[in-house]
Structure 1
């Protein structure tokens, strides 16, 4: 049984994380509350800006932080086709080489996000960091959104026993591997009837659940057939059994109206 407790990783009410994690910033607007973003950044054991994500982080610092308030990124990676010259100069001039490692990853066969996991691998293992929180948004270009989901699937081939979470202003998303899973749902989300979903991206999945408003009983999920979208909760612990990889996504508190 794989156990998941997202609130222990990101406790937005207490603004406190109890788990060891890395944070990765992709090239999307940072729409999380400023205090939550700062808290996650400061508490992370490892910090990485991915290509244009460095532009987004530079803007965030300019708009919300005093000089030297937040820790410096450990890595800046990508093929740098989206990185503004002003941003590169800022990080080159304001951080020594032993603080921020700038790693060019020109390979065009993978996204910059996927390549960043390869760059981080040795540091994640050295620091014994198993959780990776990725700041991104499910908006804008569909191909980039699907590319990020594809990286969820590829993570298992790159990193051993790591957990990759896509965090946006209104949701948290990760991949459930074949087997049994137990997900601890914050009481507030149950009380608010917040949404959740099981998305069979790729192959079909046979899924059984307990704790959902509309449970599944050895149902076959697959695009072109049944998809468990716009579901909700009947219990604070949801159990999922799946025979294939499936994407779990859940509305996350009230950062943004949906």
Structure 2
């Protein structure tokens, strides 16, 4: 059985150490506030540093310098580069055109954690993402969630996407047990069969199912409701994406408006 503690992650009581990667996407400030203090590392993927500097410029946010800004740096603004260089932040340039700034950041973080804790130590990663903007970029982020699962030079631990209104992660094969509560999450959840046909058995939801086939083009479980502090999903087949709706206090105030405003400033 694989046990998940997503509520603890958002409440300052993580079950395992984790790092944060900031992508070049609109930042959900309340959500970043919730996770930034207990993170062991903070890395910006190229122009993610532009986004972090804008976040730092607002009142009521928890400011923290990144450990590094990683990527080919073609989108990093001169202002952000100088701002963080003055703070002693590492800014390694990686010109490799066969990997994305997302994967470069994961690789840097993994190597840094290996140097601190050893190669056998797990490190979860929380990615500050944006799934409410361009569709191709949203699919790219979900693609990366699956791509890195078997690449130990990129990830040894779990990967979470923390977006405007949701926390998402890829379920393991077999039984999954998620510890959730209504302080961190609203009631809506989705179990999305990204890789194709799978069968799920659930408990702790308003509409539980047993050995239920789910597949794009047929039937997909969206907008189910949490009805327990511990919910379970047994997976037989391809691994689905599990997505939890954040409580209002952890959501971006207006994801559509925020996305437009931040984009205009970059």
Instruction: State the TM-score, normalized to the length of structure 1.
Output: 0.86
Residue number in structure 2 paired with 1:204: 197
User: Does the 8 Å CA contact 2:5/2:14 hold for their aligned counterparts?
Assistant: no
Identify which of 75, 92, 103 aligns with 2:92.
103
Partner residue, 2:44:
49
CA distance in 2, matches of 1:177, 1:104: 34
Aligned residues: 244
Q: Report which stretch shifted further, 181-190 or 81-90.
A: 181-190
Query: How far off is 1:133 after superposition?
Result: 1.2
Structure 2 CA distance for aligned equivalents of residues 81 and 198 of structure 1:
36
Q: CA deviation at 1:3?
A: 0.5
Paired residues of 2:191 and 2:241 also in contact (CA < 8 A): yes
Provide the residue aligned with 2:259 in structure 1.
none
Do 2:131 and 2:164's aligned partners in 1 also have CA atoms closer than 8 Å? no
Compute the displacement of 1:22 (Å): 0.7
- Give the distance between the partners of 2:147 and 2:141, measured in 1 at CA: 10
For residue 238 of structure 1, the aligned residue among 231, 236, 241 is 231
How does 1:172-211 map onto structure 2 within 5 Å?
172-188=167-183, 194-211=187-204
Task: State how 1:19-30 maps to structure 2 within 5 Å.
Answer: 19=15, 20-30=17-27
CA distance in 2, matches of 1:189, 1:78: 32
Alignment of 1:2-81 (within 5 A): 2-11=2-11, 16-19=12-15, 20-33=17-30, 37-38=32-33, 40-64=35-59, 70-81=63-74
- Secondary structure, in 3 states, of the residue corresponding to 1:24? strand
2:226 equivalent to 1:247? no
Residue aligning to 2:77: 84
User: The residue matched to 1:44 in structure 2 has which SS?
Assistant: coil
Which residues of 2 match residues 143-182 of structure 1 at below 5 A?
Answer: 143-159=136-152, 161-182=156-177
- Tell whether the 8 Å contact from 1:180 to 1:242 is kept in structure 2 after alignment: yes
> How far apart are residue 174 of structure 1 and its match?
0.4
User: 44-53 vs 122-131, which deviates more?
Assistant: 122-131
Gaps of 5+ in 1: none
Q: RMSD over aligned Cα, in angstroms?
A: 2.3
Q: Work out whether residues 132 and 163 of structure 1, in 8 Å CA contact, stay in contact via their aligned partners in 2.
A: yes
The separation in 2 between residues aligned to 1:38 and 1:189, in whole angstroms, is 13
Q: Could you tell me how far apart the structure 1 residues matched to 2:229 and 2:36 are?
A: 28
Q: CA deviation at 1:189?
A: 6.6
Q: Deviations over 1:118-141 (max 9, x none)?
A: 121122233445221111221111
SS at match of 2:216: coil
